[in-house]
Amino acid sequence: MFKGQTIWVTGASSGIGEALAYEFASLGAKLILSARREAELERVKAACETMGAMADDVLILPLDVTDEGAIASVTKAAHGFTGRIDMLINNAGISQRSLCIDTDMATYRRLFEVDVFGQIALTKEVLPIMLEQKSGHMVVTASVAGKIGVSQRTGYCAAKHAMMGFFDALRAEVSKSGLHVTTITPGFIRTNIATHALKGDGSEFGKVDKNIAGGMDVKKCAKVIMKGLSKRQKEIPVGEGSEMKALWVKRFFPNTLFKMVEKMG
Ligand SMILES: NC(=O)c1ccc[n+]([C@@H]2O[C@H](COP(=O)([O-])OP(=O)(O)OC[C@H]3O[C@@H](n4cnc5c(N)ncnc54)[C@H](OP(=O)(O)O)[C@@H]3O)[C@@H](O)[C@H]2O)c1
């Protein structure tokens, strides 16, 4: 179903975004790949070409989602690629590994700039294009952390909860205009997310922790997401650890869940 569609993936230089790019490339989509590291995007584009994409099918548009001044011109370039944007996957993101007591306000602001305001700014720029088309699919990679608060993630959980709220509210506004909105809620997925996570002072955590090391394979994760996107699921939970059961516990037995996460510390 994605053949010939124009799909814009942010955070496409690594992890979930990269794995999604390969899935779309193999299905014959027209791809726009964004992230800050252009050399990594070139690597992903080259790999897409080994999966059946032609060089002209993949456009690299480097973008720092916190660079609000660049978002309009990059969106114009993205739209100019095929004259359409059928899907925007707001996937760029950074995590956190620090207790609240140790976290600088500047670090909270950085998490929100990337994980919240970057996504909102890009979505707002693409929205008029989709409304004009009378079709389009807005997607965000939120997280289980957008539903459950856990230790060492006060900023990240707040940001991902914000994204769940924003996109659920957006869906209520645009569904009558022919647009679809999907929130993806991954559990632990084996990517570079922990390595690039912020410590309290804003420096990088710089290592993989146990949960991420033992997380779901990213290719497997991308396949689950693709299935959900093809069905235009409103929410796509993806993961295979106990964190996925925690979603269910939170929904039906919130107090039990709060006790569980307190014990985890
Ligand atoms: N892995 C997990 O367990 C997990 C679980 C739940 C949710 N998620 C979410 O999944 C998304 C993808 O993360 P991942 O796990 O694939 O981690 P990852 O491998 O570290 O990928 C993160 C991506 O975001 C991009 N990025 C970071 N800051 C950016 C910025 N300011 N502007 C533009 N792009 C930026 C990075 O590219 P550059 O460095 O090149 O800019 C990279 O492509 C994130 O939103 C994350 O919160 C991950």
**pLDDT score of 163:** 98
Q: CA-to-CA distance for 192 and 202, rounded, in angstroms?
A: 17
Which among 94, 183, 207 is the best mutation to test ligand 1's pocket, defined by most ligand atoms within 8 Å of the CB? 94
What pLDDT is attached to residue 60? 98
pLDDT tens sequence across 25-51:
999 999 999 999 999 999 999 999 999
Which of ligand 1's atoms lies nearest the C-alpha of 142?
Answer: 7
Give pLDDT tens digits for 206-243: 999 999 999 999 999 999 999 999 999 999 999 999 99
Report how far residue 155's alpha carbon sits from residue 146's, in angstroms, rounded to the nearest whole number.
Answer: 11
pLDDT score at 47 = 98
Which CATH class for the 6-264 domain?
Answer: alpha beta
Q: In what order do the strands lie in the sheet with 58-60?
A: 58-60, 30-34, 6-10, 87-90, 136-141, 179-186, 235-238
Please name the residue ranges forming H helices in the chain. 15-26, 38-50, 68-82, 105-112, 118-133, 154-174, 210-213, 218-230, 242-252, 254-264
Q: What DSSP character marks residue 98?
A: B
* pLDDT tens digits for range 76-135: 999 999 999 999 999 999 999 999 999 999 999 999 999 999 999 999 999 999 999 999
Closest CA to 260 of 157, 247, 216, 161: 247
CA 190 – CA 219 distance, rounded (Å): 9
Strand partners, 182: 139
Does the pLDDT value for residue 1 go beyond 90? no
